[in-house]
Amino acid sequence: MSERTEIASLGEFGLIDHLTKNIEIRNASTITGVGDDAAVIDHFGKQTVLTNDLLVEGVHFDLMYTPLKHLGYKTVVVNLSDIYAMNAIPSQIIVGIAFSNRFSLEALEDFYEGVYAACALYDVDLVGGDTTSSQKGFIISCTAIGEITPDKYVKRSGAKKGDLLCVSGDLGAAFLGLTLLEREKNIFRENPGIQPDLEGEDYIVGRILKPEARKDIIELLSEKVVLPSAMIDISDGLSSEILHICKQSDVGCVLYEEKIPIAEETKQAAFKFNLDPTACALSGGEDYELLFTIHQDDYEKLKENKDISVIGYITDAEAGKHIISKGGNRHPLTAQGWNAFD
């Protein structure tokens, strides 16, 4: 049996102190971190980018198959992904938690182990938070703060006719990982004697439980001196994110099904579940890749990079929003993705 320390034995301040005592400050911009009424941050003339996410047990995550350490890591990563999607560099986070008495000190330690692992990898400081109780379950609020050289931030609204539509990494894997975990959960519920079978599915399961934010892509764009005209991170599925860019930029687009990057592991898993891999990429969520548009002149600078795929181009709004299937047919692009046509 693993140990179980009741939170009540520490009290709120003892708990905060316990969870934050080993914080190492990594950024010069962090002037005051945990321990005062508020944190103090100096961005030295840069502009500040802010985002928040709220995660609720049973709505956004299921602790039956989500280890708390992974949850802590993912909490940070999904927020940092939003900062990167503005072309900014994250520097601080604030994490608030509410939990019922079902949670022990050891459980919260696991969660913070994940939070701190992400802080170390992405070079951000945890500078504050809030700690309270909930009647039921675990609730997490995470705010990320980032910095950007004035006016170098990239909004969703800057895409222009003729720009190329680009995406990082590959898509659809997280959705299939989730589908697999949900299936195993249901099998386990009906027959607790059966152990989950995740054999050979590390890639798709890893993509849902331990996603990464594309810091490397933001660094690459900066190194190659490419400023995207619009950018968004893919949390809800490719089609809905493309539609956000089109709507906010007042443009249309053409997307090529055959250009959508999908990993071999994802295709195999899709076939096992009798799902169309393209539909998983278009409508499945939580990939946390970056979708961005670039001017055609910038194509040369990025074309050697295997982590970036050009998947289509931007048109006038009047031309509409379309996907060209592998069979060469043209279909309207909708947020729901698609019904396997052709």
**CB of 198 within 8 A of CB of 297?**
no
140 binds, among Mg ion, ligand ADP, none (CB under 5 to 8 A by kind): none
| Smallest distance, ligand ADP to C-beta of residue 35, A | 5
**Closer Cβ to ligand ADP, 2 or 22, answer by number:** 22
Identified binder of ligand ADP from the candidate list 5, 10, 16, 48, rule CB under 6 A:
16
| Smallest distance, ligand ADP to C-beta of residue 66, A | 19
Which residue's entry shows tokens 């990563």?
77
| Smallest distance, ligand ADP to C-beta of residue 129, A | 3
User: Does 36 engage in binding with Mg ion (CB under 5 A)?
Assistant: no
SS (H, E, C) 240-253: HHHHHHHHHHCEEE
| Smallest distance, ligand ADP to C-beta of residue 88, A | 22
144 binds, among ligand ADP, Mg ion, none (CB under 5 to 8 A by kind): none
Nearest to 160 by CA among 298, 257, 282, 283: 298
Among positions 128-157, residues that touch Mg ion (CB under 5 A) are 130
Residues 6+ apart with CB under 8 A from 21: none
* Cβ-based burial of 78 (10 A; exposed 0-12, middle 13-18, buried ≥19): buried
Under DSSP, the state recorded for 31 is: E
User: Does 231 engage in binding with ligand ADP (CB under 6 A)?
Assistant: no
User: Does 79 engage in binding with ligand ADP (CB under 6 A)?
Assistant: no
89 binds, among Mg ion, ligand ADP, none (CB under 5 to 8 A by kind): none
**CB of 172 within 8 A of CB of 287?**
yes
- In this structure, the number of other CB atoms found within 10 A of the CB of residue 6 comes to 10
Stretch that binds ligand ADP, among 127-135, 206-214, 266-274, 321-329 (CB under 6 A): 127-135
| Smallest distance, ligand ADP to C-beta of residue 11, A | 11
**Amino acid letter, 145:** I
User: Does 250 engage in binding with Mg ion (CB under 5 A)?
Assistant: no
**Closer Cβ to Mg ion, 130 or 316, answer by number:** 130
Q: In what helix (H) or strand (E) does residue 166 lie, and over which residues does it extend?
A: strand 164-168
User: Does 128 engage in binding with ligand ADP (CB under 6 A)?
Assistant: yes
- The helix/strand/coil state of 82 is helix
- DSSP state letters, 268-323: HHHHHTT--HHHHHHH------EEEEE-GGGHHHHTT-TTEEEEEEEEEGGG-EEE
- Angle, nearest 10°, between helix axes 202-209 and 173-190? 100
d(CA 73, CA 188): 26
User: Does 131 engage in binding with ligand ADP (CB under 6 A)?
Assistant: yes
Among positions 84-123, residues that touch ligand ADP (CB under 6 A) are 95, 97
| Smallest distance, ligand ADP to C-beta of residue 61, A | 17
User: Does 35 engage in binding with ligand ADP (CB under 6 A)?
Assistant: yes
* Cβ-based burial of 298 (10 A; exposed 0-12, middle 13-18, buried ≥19): buried
**Closer Cβ to Mg ion, 131 or 268, answer by number:** 131
x-or-dash pattern for ligand ADP, window 38-77, by CB under 6 A?
----------------------------------------
Q: Contact positions toward ligand ADP, by CB under 6 A?
A: 16, 19-20, 34-37, 95, 97, 126, 128-131
Q: Contact positions toward Mg ion, by CB under 5 A?
A: 130
